[in-house]
Amino acid sequence: MTTYLIDHAATWVGFQTLGAGDRLIVAPQGALILPETIFDLRGTGAAGVALAGFTWLEGLVVEGGTTLSVSGQLISDSQGAALGLWDGAQGVVTGTVTASQGTGVALMGAGGGLDLAGRISAETGIAVTARGASLAISGEVAGSALGISLGGGDASLQNTGTIRGGIAVLGDGTGAPVTVTVTNGGMMLGALDVDLVQGASRFWLANAGSLVGNLTSGASGDVVTGAGLITGHVSLGAGNDRFAGRLTGDLDMGLGNDTVDARGGAAHVIRDAGGNDLYLVDGDVTIEDLGGRDTVRSWVSLRLASGLEVLELQGVGATMGLGNGLGNTISGNAGDNYLWGAAGRDTLSGGEGQDWLRGGLGDDLLQGGEGDDRMNGDAGRDVLTGGAGADVFVFAFGQTGTDAASADLVTDFSDADVIDISSMDAVQGNGGTNDAFTLVQALTGQAGELAVTTLGGDTLLLMDVNGDGLADAAIRLSGIHALTAADFLL
């Protein structure tokens, strides 16, 4: 076991390798100059290499069991790798590695890792083909073309320093299904491009720092989280992806059942190519969705964009939830909400608070929930359930049928509730005045009559406005009720 100590300028011609247990040390004041020599220490049993001074060589390869540290300056003019870590080798770089034509550090075989607190400057800063390798970057990686290439599979990168390149990080897995994990607490200057072709591959990014460039992933299940800022666009491709981050550009989720947390200004435009997706929003966000059954949870008033089906209002504020042309499901929060279904067969649920529910076009289902709510089914054959509280059921001409089969249905009318038909003119053609209805037991052919009758186990309200003895509007109440004028706003 020999220790080779270089503490002066040395051109060590003919030196090829180290033996078992040997060590090579370049002292801080030393210089090892072997510009055309590759040290391949695999299989030698060498104990370690410590480069604290100036070293110029073609390349150096070590394997697991041989320690490698660079605290000085290493220069390589090779088109290959200046440093090679093979089969579990661990490298520590606190100095500088410069490889202008090739790769700064390459991790090969299986396992291994690199701890960089110094600086690597190369065409490709770090290239990983070792499966399961790990990188810890607190210094700087400067790649003229590529900062870091994460291949080989199941690689992990933790960055608290700076990574720069035309592409800052490239994740490339072309073999078996792999997982690429990136934790960024520093800065990445350049694109982050993940190309994982296997169907079960995964990409994870926890971003607490800054990424200046576009993020593109072809993995089948991406997870992007963190309060750090992405200055660029994000495209996550197919798969069941999750995004909960911040960016200045647009977000394209692709196919799959995706989850997007767009709170805090995460994205201005979100695009999705299909799947049953979930969106969390608290501001002005444009969502373009092409298929599936999608849910939006909103902390602010929101109108569902075309292609979206479900809206769930969150928080306790007084907010509005508006539907679109589809059959929407819209639910309120703990505050006082205004819910409108628009077109389609909608389901509206007020929840807590004093809510105002309006069905719109279509045969709608309205559920007031807790609180004193107002409900108007609007057009179509609607079903209204007030729930707890003193509720008001609002009707107008053209918004309910004319017989039991086509009439709107109130399922839980109680003594505390009121039926509001005050917008209906009880006498048609009476000089434009809004006349009130008169309660009767049956229609007798007099205009302005409101007959309270029964049909089976239900109560049926029939209104005649032209005196022909036929109902011009009808409302159905579940159960038998002895109604008086106090139960109406006439």
CA max distance for the chain: 121
Higher pLDDT, 267 or 275: 275
Structure tokens at 228: 């750090």
- Please state the pTM of the whole predicted model: 0.86
pLDDT attached to residue 488: 97
Q: Among 413, 467, 415, which residue's Cα sits nearest to residue 438?
A: 467
- Are 44 and 19 a contacting pair, CB within 8 Å? yes
Distance CA 477, CA 488 (A): 13
* Residue 278: strand pairing partners: 259, 295
Mean pLDDT, the chain, rounded, equals 91
Residue 332 has pLDDT above 90, yes or no: yes
CA-to-CA separations, 260 to 202, 280, 295, in angstroms, rounded: 17, 6, 10
The residues near 247 (Cβ < 8 Å, ≥ 6 apart) are 229, 230, 231, 232, 233, 234, 266, 267
Residue 363 has pLDDT above 60, yes or no: yes
Most confident of 23-37, 38-52, 289-303: 289-303
What's the rounded mean pLDDT across residues 228-245? 90
If one counts every other C-beta atom within 10 angstroms of the C-beta of residue 466, the result is 13
Distance CA 176, CA 64 (A): 24
Strand, coil or helix: 486: helix
**How do residues 65-112 score in pLDDT, each as one tens digit?**
888 999 999 999 888 999 999 999 999 999 999 998 899 999 999 999
pLDDT attached to residue 175: 56
pLDDT band at 350 (very low <50, low <70, confident <90, very high): very high
Structure tokens at 56: 């110029």
Higher pLDDT, 215 or 197: 215
Most confident of 171-180, 186-195, 475-484: 475-484
pLDDT attached to residue 441: 95
Distance CA 388, CA 416 (A): 10
**How do residues 384-441 score in pLDDT, each as one tens digit?**
999 999 999 999 998 999 999 999 999 999 999 999 999 999 998 887 788 999 999 9
CA-to-CA separations, 21 to 2, 14, 112, 171, 243, in angstroms, rounded: 7, 20, 20, 36, 50
**Burial category of 440 from C-beta neighbours within 10 Å (exposed 0-12, middle 13-18, buried 19 and up):** middle
If one counts every other C-beta atom within 10 angstroms of the C-beta of residue 416, the result is 12
Per DSSP, 304 falls in state P
Residue 375 has pLDDT above 70, yes or no: yes
**How do residues 142-158 score in pLDDT, each as one tens digit?**
999 999 998 877 889 99
The residues near 58 (Cβ < 8 Å, ≥ 6 apart) are 34, 35, 36, 37, 38, 76, 77, 78, 80
Tokens 């490339």 correspond to what residue? 172
Residue 15 has pLDDT above 60, yes or no: no
